[in-house]
Chain A
Amino acid sequence: MSAARTVRHDAARPVLPGGTPVHRSVRRVRRREMATAAALMGPWIAGVGLFVVYPLAATVYFSFTHYNMLDRPRFVGLHNWAFVLGHYPPFWTSLRNTLWLVAVMVTLRVIAGFGLAMLVVRVRIGGRLMRTALFVPYLVPPVAAALGFVYLLRPGDGPVNRLLGAVGIGGPGWFDDPAWSKAALTLLALWGVGDVMVVFLAALADVPKARVEAALMDGATGWQRFRHITLPEMSPTLLFAAITGVIAALQYYTQAMVASQAASGDLAAPGLTAEPGFPEQSTLTLTQTLYSLGFIHADTGAASVVAVILFGLSIGLTALLLRRRSGFAAGVLR
């Protein structure tokens, strides 16, 4: 190899003093910037890779395997999918229950949160106290709240049914009755609606006062001001509350699990794993089915199928809400 190197300069390309072509220098700078960016983003990439991408890919992979967590996973193709979708009725029961909670619980929580926020901003005396009183239930740990509601709604001697009885109404079975258990869970969720109310309170503070006053001067009624000023201004917040509510409802687990175990008496059975969903799978949600398959029946393959479906459902419903959002906003702005 020759010690001397022949350096050829392209006459058409600009050259820096010292002979280095401009494009090479730019590339070097870019490379350095890229390296800096990669170094800065490294921890984030590692975190996302380790805690998001890997578990997601592993879940998809496990959904095609027979895996009881004790033996090596074995590839079984679409077997788990066929089992969950075709031969495992609790999956469809839990899907129906979850969609019920998404439709009813989320809708009522958004309406109640919005309504309470509208009420609280109008209260002149004791407004802060009212705000605090409405928010405090949200701070109660979900387990304690669920246990409290199981006591309050006991069919025989619960305070609620006793009150109903005093006015001549036969109280329902609440957490002990498959027809009422989801309604009881919804009541529990509405009791803790303080988080949604606070978000709406913050958004209401941003409604331009000038527009409201102008509308007042033009003789707009309260409904017209709400319909044409408040609601359009609140639509991004409504969307936010709906999306976060839907995602939370899809992940609904603790309250349903605790309430069903407390109502069935399984909480008092130490050393035993209780089947979720009491009574008669009426409180069984998708996350509980996932838990039941994966951790009670040690069927990680089928549990992974439920996890993938749950993930797809979250993405799908969120996308649907985001697409409908423009139509909704346009509708109220018209």
Chain B
Amino acid sequence: MAATPSARTAPRLRSHIRLLLCAALVTISGAACTGAPLPDVRPPDSATAYGPERPPVTLTVWHGWTDEREASAFQAMLDRFHLLHPNIGVRAVGGVTDSQIINGIRSEQNVDVVSSFTTDDVGLYCGSGAWVDLNPFLRSSGIDAAKTFTAPSLAYSAYHGDQCALPLLGDTFGLYYNKAMFAKAGIERPPRTLSELEADAAKLTVRAADGSLRVAGFLPDVDWYENAPDHLQSVFGIRFQDADNRSVLAGDPGVASELRFQSRMMAVLGGADEAQAFAAGPAAGDENSAANAFLTGKVAMAVGGEWTTAEIAADAPDLDYGTAPLPVADDRVAAYGSGTVTGTVIGIARTTRHSDAAWELVRFLTTDTGALTAFANAIHNVPTTYAVAADPALAADDRFRTFIAIAADPRSTSTPPSPNGGYYKSSFQRFVAAYEAGRVTDPQSALRALDREIDSATDQGREPTP
């Protein structure tokens, strides 16, 4: 009897399915093989990690600087290192972002020393071992980290005790104010509390004949320039997360304080729409350019990092301005003078084949007082070692000294490291932006939902328990 078509095709179909399953198995096996372990990196046996008797070696350093002035200053620092260690050559690659660092290490590219502009991914780098723990290296070189590095900078470069990075100069935030405008408005000194800031902003705000904003006393827009909530952490005393990386925004009085301030400041400027149109309009050019609204006199007071002092010197040398610590919430007067500290971090990539030489370079870049002072003078970043902060060669005028004092202030803090980068910061910033625009009807329940969302994302970033 002839087989029916279905009976004929069934075995063929089965063989096709078998073939497909085999192909899937092979490809999935291939996929599962991704991420082979890398060789262990061990600390050097002696304090001198890579002496002159060792064979010549060339290190590859990845860093984020692209601006010609800053990149040249970093290169000068590397040249200085090479003079001291002629057997260690250094090849620098600039403009590297964190995602490039992750991909570079994952794909085992030839990189020895890595540097990041943000501390957001320190948790990931330490937790995954992508950046090697430097504690054994510090011990072998006899460096007492707590006595060498400022407390906030040491905190933001470690994760749960794993010091996989070290600070390479820091950033902190202060208030820039236009002295000429202050004098014209009869204001004698920069504000120290938010109430004073609001009152001064109202006096400094100038409107055109049609009522539109010509000069904003202070722009509170959370997406504008350096107004991100994590930069203003010390102003309101926001904690973001507890020691277990649980989000605590809903119950944080600092968050409520920030929301109240945003509402009041927006009202000073005539409402969120007007303030945001001004922030997005011709008055507000790119922050890191000569069109910066503070440099062009369109804004009388602005939050800025210490590096802006160098930009003003280059782009608006005649600007009559001063700097001061950020004003604090009225119930936090005792915290005036402190700030939020973050900065550039540097470490050894686990892909390195020259860990001794790499440590020699990292140690030099993070602890050599002469080199760091010269670098700080060149790029106007705040020192992260006590020795540099006290170095008389640190060419700091009063305006830059404001930031050095903030960074050295023992009350200054840094944002908590997290296993999944800066998700908690960007989520909260989005929330504040929506609140400013009047799109949050019930802030408390929205904050509770945000806490849950951030906690889920944090858990997602953690290594699963086997």
The yes or no verdict on A and B being binding partners is yes
A residues with CB within 8 A of B? 49, 53-54, 57-58, 60-62, 66-74, 76, 79-80, 83, 87-89, 154-157, 173, 176, 178, 263-265, 268-273, 275, 278-281, 295-299, 302
**Nearest A residue to B287 by beta-carbon distance?**
A265
Given contacts A71-B463, A270-B64, contact A280 B433 (CB under 8 A): yes
Chosen A-B contacts, 9 in total, with CB atoms closer than 8 Å, are A54-B27, A66-B463, A73-B32, A154-B281, A270-B67, A271-B64, A272-B64, A297-B423, A299-B460
Taking the nearest CB of chain A, how far is it from the CB of B106, in angstroms? 4
Whether B420 and A299, one on each chain, are in contact in the complex, defined by CB atoms closer than 8 angstroms, is yes
Whether A69 and B102, one on each chain, are in contact in the complex, defined by CB atoms closer than 8 angstroms, is yes
**Nearest A residue to B452 by beta-carbon distance?**
A87
B40 interfacial contact with A, CB 8 Å:
no
Taking the nearest CB of chain B, how far is it from the CB of A76, in angstroms? 5
Of A89, A154, A273, A280, the residue contacting B280 (CB under 8 A) is A154
Whether A73 and B99, one on each chain, are in contact in the complex, defined by CB atoms closer than 8 angstroms, is no
Which residues of B are found within 8 Å of A67, using beta-carbon distances?
34-35
Given contacts A57-B31, A155-B277, A156-B280, contact A302 B99 (CB under 8 A): no
B residues with CB within 8 A of A? 23-24, 27-28, 30-32, 34-35, 37, 63-67, 95-99, 102-103, 105-106, 116-118, 121, 124, 128-130, 223-225, 276-278, 280-283, 286-289, 420-421, 423, 426, 430, 433-434, 437, 439, 452-453, 456-457, 460-461, 463-464, 466
What separation, in Å, do the CA atoms of A54 and B421 have in the docked complex?
A: 30
What separation, in Å, do the CA atoms of A74 and B97 have in the docked complex?
A: 26
Which residues of B are found within 8 Å of A268, using beta-carbon distances?
286-289
Whether A173 and B31, one on each chain, are in contact in the complex, defined by CB atoms closer than 8 angstroms, is no
Whether B461 and A156, one on each chain, are in contact in the complex, defined by CB atoms closer than 8 angstroms, is no
Which residues of A are found within 8 Å of B225, using beta-carbon distances?
265
Of B129, B421, B466, the residue contacting A70 (CB under 8 A) is B129
**Nearest A residue to B65 by beta-carbon distance?**
A271
Taking the nearest CB of chain B, how far is it from the CB of A97, in angstroms? 14
The residue in A72, A270, A271, A297 that gathers the most chain B C-beta atoms within 10 A of its C-beta is A271
Whether B288 and A57, one on each chain, are in contact in the complex, defined by CB atoms closer than 8 angstroms, is no
What separation, in Å, do the CA atoms of A66 and B225 have in the docked complex?
A: 35
Taking the nearest CB of chain A, how far is it from the CB of B31, in angstroms? 4
Whether A58 and B287, one on each chain, are in contact in the complex, defined by CB atoms closer than 8 angstroms, is no
Whether B283 and A156, one on each chain, are in contact in the complex, defined by CB atoms closer than 8 angstroms, is yes
Taking the nearest CB of chain A, how far is it from the CB of B26, in angstroms? 9
**Nearest A residue to B419 by beta-carbon distance?**
A68
Whether B453 and A87, one on each chain, are in contact in the complex, defined by CB atoms closer than 8 angstroms, is yes
Taking the nearest CB of chain B, how far is it from the CB of A153, in angstroms? 10
Taking the nearest CB of chain B, how far is it from the CB of A265, in angstroms? 6
Whether A72 and B35, one on each chain, are in contact in the complex, defined by CB atoms closer than 8 angstroms, is yes
Whether A264 and B223, one on each chain, are in contact in the complex, defined by CB atoms closer than 8 angstroms, is yes
Which residues of A are found within 8 Å of B65, using beta-carbon distances?
270-271
Whether B288 and A269, one on each chain, are in contact in the complex, defined by CB atoms closer than 8 angstroms, is yes
Given contacts A268-B289, A270-B64, A279-B433, contact A70 B105 (CB under 8 A): yes
Whether B421 and A71, one on each chain, are in contact in the complex, defined by CB atoms closer than 8 angstroms, is no
Which residues of A are found within 8 Å of B97, using beta-carbon distances?
271-273
What separation, in Å, do the CA atoms of A61 and B25 have in the docked complex?
A: 10
What separation, in Å, do the CA atoms of A296 and B66 have in the docked complex?
A: 20
What separation, in Å, do the CA atoms of A156 and B433 have in the docked complex?
A: 19
What separation, in Å, do the CA atoms of A67 and B35 have in the docked complex?
A: 9
**Nearest B residue to A80 by beta-carbon distance?**
B460
What separation, in Å, do the CA atoms of A155 and B273 have in the docked complex?
A: 11
**Nearest A residue to B35 by beta-carbon distance?**
A72
Taking the nearest CB of chain B, how far is it from the CB of A156, in angstroms? 2
Of A87, A156, A272, A295, the residue contacting B277 (CB under 8 A) is A156
Taking the nearest CB of chain B, how far is it from the CB of A116, in angstroms? 32
Whether A66 and B280, one on each chain, are in contact in the complex, defined by CB atoms closer than 8 angstroms, is no
Which residues of A are found within 8 Å of B277, using beta-carbon distances?
155-156, 173
Given contacts A69-B102, A155-B277, contact A53 B117 (CB under 8 A): no
What separation, in Å, do the CA atoms of A4 and B31 have in the docked complex?
A: 53
**Nearest B residue to A174 by beta-carbon distance?**
B280
What separation, in Å, do the CA atoms of A37 and B390 have in the docked complex?
A: 78
What separation, in Å, do the CA atoms of A269 and B307 have in the docked complex?
A: 13
What separation, in Å, do the CA atoms of A202 and B297 have in the docked complex?
A: 56
Whether B276 and A270, one on each chain, are in contact in the complex, defined by CB atoms closer than 8 angstroms, is no
Whether A279 and B223, one on each chain, are in contact in the complex, defined by CB atoms closer than 8 angstroms, is yes
Taking the nearest CB of chain B, how far is it from the CB of A211, in angstroms? 43
What separation, in Å, do the CA atoms of A49 and B426 have in the docked complex?
A: 39
Whether B128 and A68, one on each chain, are in contact in the complex, defined by CB atoms closer than 8 angstroms, is yes
Which residues of B are found within 8 Å of A53, using beta-carbon distances?
23, 27
Taking the nearest CB of chain B, how far is it from the CB of A324, in angstroms? 29
Whether A71 and B128, one on each chain, are in contact in the complex, defined by CB atoms closer than 8 angstroms, is yes
Whether A66 and B464, one on each chain, are in contact in the complex, defined by CB atoms closer than 8 angstroms, is yes
What separation, in Å, do the CA atoms of A299 and B278 have in the docked complex?
A: 37
Whether A88 and B457, one on each chain, are in contact in the complex, defined by CB atoms closer than 8 angstroms, is yes
Whether A271 and B453, one on each chain, are in contact in the complex, defined by CB atoms closer than 8 angstroms, is no
Which residues of A are found within 8 Å of B102, using beta-carbon distances?
68-70, 295, 298
